Chain A
Amino acid sequence: MIKLLNWFSAGRTSGKYTLPFVVILLSITVLASAANLLLPQDSALYVSTYSITLLGKYLCYAMLALAVDIIWGYCGILSLGHGAFFALGGYAMGMYLMRQIGDRGVYGNPLLPDFMVFLDWKELPWFWLGMDQFWFAMVMAVLVPGLLAFVFGWLAFRSRVTGVYLSIMTQALTYALLLAFFRNEMGFGGNNGLTDFKEILGFDLQADTTRVSLFLITAILLAVILMLSQRILSSRLGKVTLAVRDSEARTRFIGYRTECYKVWLFVYSAVIAGVAGALYVPQVGIINPGEFSPINSIEIVIWVAVGGRGTLIGAIIGALLVNYAKTRFTAIMPDGWLFALGALFVLVTLYLPKGLMGLYGQLTSKRLTKGEQEAAS
């Protein structure tokens, strides 16, 4: 344990913005929560519960973007299927929340969720067993995406499927899951998914305090995962990861089993996505197969691209910005959003290959060189 702490504190300088960023992130979340719970509704500084939930949702997306950035920005694996891991985590949480409804459903069956009664099922399918235990559901939310990522990654990376091929395979993976989860026979509520949740761990999901707590938990977990990831990526393992991204063959000739590195990083990333999904569902109140659709997964990638891949903070900022823009945009002109998103894809790849963080880096370095020149003259 001490060894682990030692390791954690020995982070090098590469993530110098991480700590300030985490401080800002946490203070904003605490302030917003306080503004919601402590201030009266008519106060100018009051933050509505709706906004809190929205912010919580954004933070889940940010976590998801972080997951994609770890493998795309640092390891060069462009996954177009991370929505699948997110959704699987979400379904695990959804199943727990579904079991918590108990006999308060429309049909009042104490054991079976409504949709199973509707389908005239007599008993709970085996994979729903144990899902009424919170800890078990949470283990599943991490384990299932991790396991899927492991199997897929092991198969794909071992046979050296790379680049565009791999991207298409990941997309096919999430597409296959989309088709599967649409089926009623799968036992996950088919088309409608899981919804009408009542409470989590005995707390009413509609209550302000529950919502704020979920929001705070999301922010804290995001901060923890950010710092952990930063630490991992600044270790020698992170250097190997970058090496794999820039020249996988060379890395292999130095003696690293690159496929192992890729598999574990992929699993780590999938687990983060699963956690994000599990946090997302109680805040949004629904999970359905739509989350598996390939377009969702590819949208995550553009968040990362906008923020700047290869910088963890960039991914988070990108996710927050793009989603905020989406919310505003769809409110003003619903039809315009897809145009804007499409244009974003094209423009960012053409003109901002390193994203906003890259732009910031360029500007500062320009100013620096200018300053140096002036000093020299």
Chain B
Amino acid sequence: MNAILTLCLLIGALLPFSVAHAATGEATVQSGSPMLLELTKTKLSKMPAVVEKLEAEGGDAYLPLFRTWLAGNLYYVKSNRSLVEKMGSGKQVTFQAMFSGDPMPDLKKKQVKKVKVNNKLRGKLRSVIARIQLTSEDSSVREAAVRELLAKLDKNVIGILEGLHVKEQNLDVKAMIATALSLYAASDKSNSQSVRLSAIEDLSDSLENDVRNGLTKLTNDSNKAVAAAADEALVSINQRVERYALVDQLFFGLSLGSVLLLASIGLAITFGVMGVINMAHGEMIMLGAYTTYVVQLMMPNHIDYSIWVAIPAAFLVSGLMGVLIERLVICRLHGRPLETLLATFGISLILQQLVRTIFSPLNRQVSTPTWMSGSLEINPVLSLTLNRLYILAFALLVFMALVLLLKKSSLGLNVRAVSQNRNMAKAMGVKTEWVDAMTFGLGSGIAGIAGVALSQLTNVGPNLGQSYIIDSFMVVVFGGVGNLMGTLVAAFTLGIANKFLEPTTGAVLAAILVLVFIILFIQKRPKGLFPQKGRAAE
């Protein structure tokens, strides 16, 4: 629980930074430099020399050029030998001037020629780009550049890095450079054994992939002591990697748990509080997801904000649908739970088919706002995807809001009164019909919100809800009907259990095992993890 809160705080703190780092140094470059002309003439085998000269000449300013080249998008116009960048792919190819970025709509494919690139050159380009970035203003760019270099350390690079290590102010970058230096020192056979051993010692707490590769190479070293030390370091690194893999699994478990929680708290209200089993609950989730889709269609230029519109919109759409269903069907089937089950199943069929008719049976893609995409990189082996983190936080938020609503508001009081003793509540002047409709609307509305969250994780299709309905029922039953806290615990327990089973059993078998477990669990404790006790429960 605490860990989750910390994570939420972390996300909040990181939000402003997560916006993609855009502009790097963009100096004006004379597009007519003779060196650039060389590019279009030189043979492929002589090209590396040209690259080095270009680096010496322009440095930072040629970074876009190198990048475009590396990506294989660098072309030159046959007639005037000016460099252009290819944009787009397939049939919709356009060109723009390399440095100014001016579009050149008239340029045809036939009029240009590609500046060739091969693997050797790509390696060269990569290290050149890395070297240029090493002097970048942005510390994260520098760190990434050092990491890039880990795999191809040589004397020159080490020279540069040693110089940088002294000047570097940023601790992360400094540590990364130190790692690079140690890695080189460890693998350099001209060093004395003690230097190499201490270097390996320094490496043993690094999680970088390239360090692991380097150490693996060293385990075959002719020097026995070095090989043994490398082996030992690898073992300790692997242990840490495994530990982080566990954390990763836990995160995915929590993420699945949060999805289950969102999907099932609505059900916990309608089933737990009202005793009404709503087979159309999954379709309420689906409606929420489609609402998100429609909202995004209506505001294509403001995808980043669309989610703030979609959440209330989905709540309203699903909630109103819930109220409608309650008033038209469920209230007439009071006290006949099995019939209610059948009728709501019919409604779920109708809603699914309705969506199929309106939106087509195909899945729809809902785009993720930029601030939700990307991931939070804790270290090289552990990165948490932001959208899952947000949904986790969001699920907890919704849960807490709901608990507060039921505990503190007058609606909550009425709902609890009706759920405990309907006739008495009626006699006390509670409008039970109104409370029923509102409760059902609330449960359905929350399902709608769950749909918004789900639309960020999976494709939106007519069958979206169906795949969650059984799982949600299991969560509610497992946690104990009528107990929101139980639902919370059950959702996360099942989510984590599922994800921890998956690596050994496969996803499908894991799902089956969890189902079987719940079936057996219900035998032992028919009232769930946290049963309601006493005469009221009879």
> Given A172-B470, A183-B509, are A156 and B523 neighbors across the interface (CB < 8 Å)?
yes
Contacting pair B350 A172 (CB below 8 A)? no
Contacting pair A161 B333 (CB below 8 A)? no
Which of B83-91, B100-108, B193-201, B513-521 lines the interface with chain A?
B513-521
Contacting pair A172 B474 (CB below 8 A)? yes
Query: How far apart sit A52 and B350, CA to CA, in the bound complex (Å)?
Result: 32
Contacting pair B350 A338 (CB below 8 A)? yes
B384 on the A face (CB < 8 A): no
B346 on the A face (CB < 8 A): yes
Contacting pair A353 B339 (CB below 8 A)? yes
Candidates A164, A172, A182, A302; contact of B515 at CB < 8 Å: A172
Contacting pair A346 B470 (CB below 8 A)? no
Q: What are the residues of chain B within 8 A of A349 when measuring CB–CB?
A: 333, 339-340, 342-343, 346
Contacting pair A342 B338 (CB below 8 A)? no
Least CB distance, B66 to chain A, in whole angstroms: 48
Contacting pair B349 A335 (CB below 8 A)? no
B353 on the A face (CB < 8 A): yes
Which of A54-62, A85-93, A173-181 lines the interface with chain B?
A173-181
Contacting pair B520 A155 (CB below 8 A)? yes
Q: What are the residues of chain A within 8 A of B99 when measuring CB–CB?
A: none
B376 on the A face (CB < 8 A): no
Q: What are the residues of chain A within 8 A of B347 when measuring CB–CB?
A: 342, 345-346
B477 on the A face (CB < 8 A): yes
Query: How far apart sit A86 and B343, CA to CA, in the bound complex (Å)?
Result: 24
Least CB distance, A274 to chain B, in whole angstroms: 20
Contacting pair A164 B341 (CB below 8 A)? yes
B206 on the A face (CB < 8 A): no
A308 on the B face (CB < 8 A): no
Q: Which of B338, B474, B515, B522 has the most chain A CB within a 10 Å cutoff?
A: B338
B45 on the A face (CB < 8 A): no
Contacting pair A182 B341 (CB below 8 A)? no
> Given A155-B523, A160-B526, A165-B522, are A343 and B343 neighbors across the interface (CB < 8 Å)?
no
Q: What are the residues of chain B within 8 A of A169 when measuring CB–CB?
A: 519, 522
> Given A163-B338, A338-B350, are A345 and B523 neighbors across the interface (CB < 8 Å)?
no
Q: What are the residues of chain A within 8 A of B277 when measuring CB–CB?
A: 164, 167-168
The 8 A CB mask of A310-325 against B (1 = contact, 0 = none) is 0000000000000000
> Given A160-B526, A176-B516, A182-B508, are A167 and B338 neighbors across the interface (CB < 8 Å)?
yes
Q: What are the residues of chain B within 8 A of A180 when measuring CB–CB?
A: 508-509, 512
A350 on the B face (CB < 8 A): yes
Contacting pair B333 A350 (CB below 8 A)? yes
Q: Which of A158, A171, A295, A338 has the most chain B CB within a 10 Å cutoff?
A: A338
The 8 A CB mask of A327-365 against B (1 = contact, 0 = none) is 000000001001101111110111001000000000000
B345 on the A face (CB < 8 A): yes
A305 on the B face (CB < 8 A): yes
Which positions 322-359 of chain B face chain A at CB distance < 8 Å?
Answer: 329, 332-333, 337-343, 345-350, 352-354, 356-357
A298 on the B face (CB < 8 A): yes
Which positions 305-336 of chain B face chain A at CB distance < 8 Å?
Answer: 329, 332-333
B511 on the A face (CB < 8 A): yes
Least CB distance, B242 to chain A, in whole angstroms: 27
> Given A164-B337, A175-B515, are A338 and B349 neighbors across the interface (CB < 8 Å)?
yes
B473 on the A face (CB < 8 A): yes
Contacting pair A344 B346 (CB below 8 A)? yes
Query: How far apart sit A152 and B516, CA to CA, in the bound complex (Å)?
Result: 11
A78 on the B face (CB < 8 A): yes
Residue on B nearest A168 in the bound complex, by CB: B473
Contacting pair B512 A161 (CB below 8 A)? no
Q: What 9 A-B pairs are tightest by C-beta distance, nearest first? A: A345-B346, A342-B349, A342-B350, A338-B353, A342-B346, A349-B343, A346-B346, A176-B515, A349-B339
Known: A168-B470, A176-B515. 17 other contacts (CB 8 A): A155-B519, A155-B523, A159-B524, A159-B526, A164-B337, A165-B522, A167-B277, A168-B477, A169-B522, A173-B519, A179-B508, A179-B512, A182-B508, A338-B350, A342-B348, A349-B333, A349-B342
Q: Residues of A with Cβ closer than 8 Å to B?
A: 78, 152, 155-156, 158-161, 163-165, 167-169, 171-173, 175-176, 179-180, 182-183, 294-295, 298, 301-302, 305, 335, 338-339, 341-346, 348-350, 353
21 A–B contacts from the bound complex (CB under 8 Å):
A78-B341, A160-B526, A161-B523, A164-B337, A164-B341, A169-B519, A169-B522, A171-B470, A172-B470, A172-B474, A176-B512, A179-B508, A180-B512, A335-B353, A338-B349, A339-B353, A343-B346, A344-B346, A345-B342, A345-B347, A349-B342
